[in-house]
Structure 1
Amino acid sequence: MIAPTESELSILGVLWEAGPLTVREVNDVLNRQSSGNGEKPIGYTTTLKIMQLMAEKGLVDRDVSNRSHVYSAAVAQERTQRNLLSRFVDRAFGGSRSELILRALGDGNATTDELQEIKKLIEKLEQDGTE
């Protein structure tokens, strides 16, 4: 699977959340997100070019049956996240998932709800491993 760039991942995030959209609609969402972060607006033609390249790479599908082309994510969110995380863990943590978790939780910013969710996941993984 091709790893999406940061810009491509932003576009995929919009499509995963909203479903199929035109370039204009994706560009509008990206600009609403960037204005909330104090970033400068993204030009329509920039978004169009990135989405055209994404279609060539197989990251998005393009429906050309209407005048305005409608794009949808061609890759699953969970699969993409797993692929990116696996590559990140290999490169940044020498393949050690425990080092990643320790570093992520070591900053002390995890909420009580997040910690409870992590505990449940660990318990499930332990149960699945003993069956």
Structure 2
Amino acid sequence: MSNQNIKPTEGEMEILQVLWQKGNATVREVHEALNKKDSGYTTTLKLMQILHEKGIVDRDTSQKTHIYRALVSQDKTEKQLVTKMIDNVFNGSAARLVMQALGNHSASADEIDEIKKYLDSLK
């Protein structure tokens, strides 16, 4: 299956975040990084198997312990999900998304400076 249209669930996104950070990881390493009290090892394993079936992660089975790695980039995935959110939730308005995000989460002074520089570069 092609990963052109990535649609990971919330749980799958959490796993992808770990794989993007670590590069390669076993199910045990991902499970421990998630540090979820309400979720068992088998749940993490099943989600990683689903990600593999979707073509979003690769699995090296050459050793006893299987090693997983993301096949999709963090940047591409984030862009695709944000575009989908803008279209579906904010009626196509990127400005509404940004205002909602900044209104709901406090940004650090450094982040605000970075946002201002980015906005200036768009002019």
Relative to the length of structure 2, the TM-score reads: 0.90
Query: SS of the counterpart of 1:68?
Result: coil
Query: SS of the counterpart of 2:13?
Result: helix
Change (3 A) 1:107 1:57: closer
Report the Cα distance in structure 1 between the residues aligned to 2:64 and 2:27, rounded to whole angstroms: 12
Identity rate, percent: 50
Q: Contact 1:27–1:44 at 8 Å: present in 2 too?
A: yes
Compute the displacement of 1:2 (Å). Answer: 2.5
- Which of the residues 116, 127, 130 maps onto 2:113? 116
Map 1:32-47 onto structure 2 (within 5 A).
34=36, 40-47=37-44
Compute the displacement of 1:123 (Å). Answer: 1.5
Gaps (5+ residues) in structure 2? none
- Which of the residues 42, 58, 63 maps onto 1:61? 58
Compute the displacement of 1:108 (Å). Answer: 7.4
Map 1:1-131 onto structure 2 (within 5 A).
1-31=5-35, 34=36, 40-107=37-104, 109-126=106-123
Question: Which of the two has higher C-alpha Rg?
Answer: 1
| Counterpart residue number, 1:37 | none
Query: SS of the counterpart of 1:83?
Result: helix
Query: SS of the counterpart of 2:59?
Result: strand
Compute the displacement of 1:77 (Å). Answer: 0.2
Moved over 6 A (4+): none
For this pair of structures, how many residues does the alignment match?
119
Compute the displacement of 1:101 (Å). Answer: 1.5
What's the RMSD between the two structures over aligned residues?
1.4
Report the Cα distance in structure 2 between the residues aligned to 1:103 and 1:51, rounded to whole angstroms: 32
